[in-house]
Amino acid sequence: MVTVRGSFGWTTLAAVLLLVPFASAPARAASAGPEPAAREAATAAADWTGPLSTRGRWIVDANGDRFKLRSGNWHGASGTWNGSGNVDDDSAHHAGENSGRIPLGLDRAPVGDIVAGFQEIGINSIRLPFSNEMVHDSRPVTDDAVAANPALRGRTPLQVYDAVIGELTGAGLAVILNNHTNTTRWCCGVDGNERWNTSQSVQTWEDDWLFMARRYKDNKRVVGADLYNEVRRTIWDDPNWGLGDDHDWFAASQRVGDRILTEADADLLIVVEGINWTGIPVDGFAHGRPTLEPVRNLSHTLVDSGKLVYSAHFYDYTGPHHSGATGTGETTDPRYRDFSPAELIDVLNRQAFFVTAEQDQHFTAPVWISEFGVGGRAETNPKARAWFENFVDQLVRTDADFAYWPLVGWHENRTGNGWALLHWDAAGHRMGVYDGDDWRAAAWNRLVGAAGRTGQVAPVPEWSMLSPDHGDFIASRRMRGVPDFDPGARKAVCPDGQRLLGLAHTGNRGLCSDVTTGPPANAAGAPEVVKDERYVPPGGDWASGYTKLQCADGRFVSGYAVRGAAVSSVLCAAAPAGVITGTAGRTVWFDRGDNRGPAPKGGDFANGRYKGQCADDEYVGGVAYTGRIGSSRTPDALLCRKLR
């Protein structure tokens, strides 16, 4: 959840620069008798088969039917303590709501009643936050924390988390595991939870993910791994997307996502959130909320295609360059609620929704708006109310997957935090969004009942970026299981079932696809590493004066290796039967400009670099470079051959 804390009382610029506050979200609001649209959504909630995967911008179930994530966040297990004061004192917890280190509300209502409430308001999936500290916490929860669920007494927070997952999935709901924080405390300022490795080692983070993925592997309604929440600046350092250091969120999420799929559970969706904040939130200093904008130039290629989901968070009081703070850390930049409806659409499309809107790109994937929300009955700010209506319109217009923050809250005499859709008081009485006095009810009903794509989603071509910028980028399961094919070089290999279609002249990036070849298939026979011109036939010099690394007839380039900027070798894979029947080819030069055809698919896979690309019905049969003086032996030309 987005949080900016703006009341530290710092007065000097130096102090502000060191503090880097982020924004303290108010807590959230409610639910009771469902409206017709919510009832219909609830009826269909259990009508699906896990596991889930993706086809282009859509999430589908095991039968290939569209599964729209109509989700909510059930928070608490990642912590509600604000970080100061007595942890046992409710007033020291966010909005006075003490979760007891477990999903909120188990002291007030039986878990089955809470889950039934989710279904009544049209939810079919739950984002379930946890902290790394929770994974290792061996202290039993207090009896008070599970007062309405006495069967959970004496259990650890992780064991309670297990029980909650069992209740959710047993009711037909999908669960996405969300690594929300390192420590079990409220997120999200400068709090020790800014990055996946702020309060712990990368090794601990990765090991915890493998542990959690394996723990629920046999439950096919545990469908996703949401890798980390709201990656943001620490006091001193920004996260980045692709620099290759220990702050590189792109590299860290790519690595742990592949590890989860190859070492723990190949069925899980891998959910990668964009960067939440970089820079100093002071006018005159660079600062902003990159969200998913970096994905346009550098996207993930997981070892298993069809498993990547991107995510983003939006709240009215934050903005594309506004931390959300009031007071210290507040800038003059507009908040999202300050934009007109048309301006808001433009901003949202630029920051996140382009990923689903633009098809046949290397970055095309589902986008899950895994947090958004607004105050309920007590919210009187007309801008906040208008923003929520406009944002819901955007979700409906784009048929977007979403997760409201939060689902569960406390109330006393129908007052309290107000952000949740369902509230329980100390006596177990529920207050809900459909009770007749919550202004959000109509918008919520419009959202969960919105018409959207349903039924079968046909398979679509995959377009995948290779980025061996700082090390190996081997997206092939097959090649990960064999010895290093070019020791000492950085290697890039397409996912199994895809072929290389494009290369950059400099920068080492590549583009892979399975376009026109049908469902992925692996041919028998080991790939061959080619470092010379052994397969260039007499009279077949397709790049005169250049060194040509060419595959044998019937083989295609599925990967390559580089040393520095120089191409070192190509990996030639045997094609499945009937895929490659022709050997006619053409030379595509890209040493002096782009040469990707009149309407290339796949997108700009090497921003700012010259690129060459074969046509959709071709494959790369060879790569040419020159070693003449002044050249860095970078790729200059491709041999593009017809598939058939």
Q: How far apart are CA 248 and CA 383, in angstroms?
A: 36
Q: How many CB atoms lie within 10 A of CB 271?
A: 27
Sign of CA dihedral 15, 19, 20, 25: negative
The candidate with the shortest Cα–Cα distance to 32, out of 435, 328, 323, is: 435
pLDDT of residue 520: 58
Q: Quick check: 301 and 464 in contact, CB under 8 A? A: yes
Q: How far apart are CA 205 and CA 210, in angstroms?
A: 9
pLDDT of residue 190: 87
Q: How far apart are CA 641 and CA 622, in angstroms?
A: 9
Q: Quick check: 381 and 392 in contact, CB under 8 A? A: no
Strands 555-563 and 585-589 turn out to be: unpaired
63-66: which pairs have CB atoms within 8 A and are 24 or more residues apart? 63/456, 64/456, 64/457, 64/458, 64/459, 65/454, 65/455, 65/456, 65/457, 66/452, 66/453, 66/454, 66/455, 66/456, 66/457
pLDDT of residue 240: 98
| Domain residue ranges of the chain, discontinuous segments joined by + | 53-449, 463-642
Q: How many CB atoms lie within 10 A of CB 88?
A: 12
Q: How far apart are CA 180 and CA 233, in angstroms?
A: 16
Q: How far from each other are the two terminal CA atoms of the chain, in whole angstroms? A: 52
Q: List the Cα angle 302/208/161 in 5-degree steps.
A: 110
**Average pLDDT by consecutive 10-residue portion of the chain (644 residues)?**
35 32 36 57 72 98 98 98 95 96 98 98 98 98 98 98 98 98 91 95 98 98 98 96 98 98 98 97 96 98 97 98 92 97 98 98 98 96 98 98 98 95 98 96 98 96 97 97 96 96 98 85 79 96 97 96 97 89 91 96 98 97 93 96 92
Q: Quick check: 31 and 422 in contact, CB under 8 A? A: yes
CATH class of the 53-449 domain in this structure: alpha beta
pLDDT of residue 37: 67
3-state secondary structure of 59: strand
| Global model pTM greater than 0.85 | yes
DSSP H helices in 45-126: 111-120
- What is the chain's alpha carbon radius of gyration, rounded to the nearest angstrom? 26
Q: 382 preceded by cis ω (within 30°)?
A: no
Q: Quick check: 67 and 59 in contact, CB under 8 A? A: yes
Q: List the Cα angle 59/64/68 in 5-degree steps.
A: 30
Q: Quick check: 637 and 624 in contact, CB under 8 A? A: yes
3-state secondary structure of 222: strand
Q: How far apart are CA 18 and CA 241, in angstroms?
A: 23
Q: How far apart are CA 603 and CA 613, in angstroms?
A: 11
3-state secondary structure of 204: helix
Q: What is the DSSP string of 349-378?
A: IIIIIHHHHS-SBTT---EEEEEEE---TT
pLDDT of residue 517: 84
Q: How far apart are CA 642 and CA 580, in angstroms?
A: 8
Q: Quick check: 100 and 88 in contact, CB under 8 A? A: no
Q: Token pair for residue 41?
A: 């959504």
Q: How far apart are CA 148 and CA 271, in angstroms?
A: 33
Q: How many CB atoms lie within 10 A of CB 581?
A: 11
For the purposes of burial, counting CB atoms within 10 Å of the CB of 89, is it exposed (0-12), middle (13-18) or buried (19 or more)? exposed
3-state secondary structure of 495: coil
Q: How far apart are CA 84 and CA 365, in angstroms?
A: 40
Q: Token pair for residue 511?
A: 């583009």
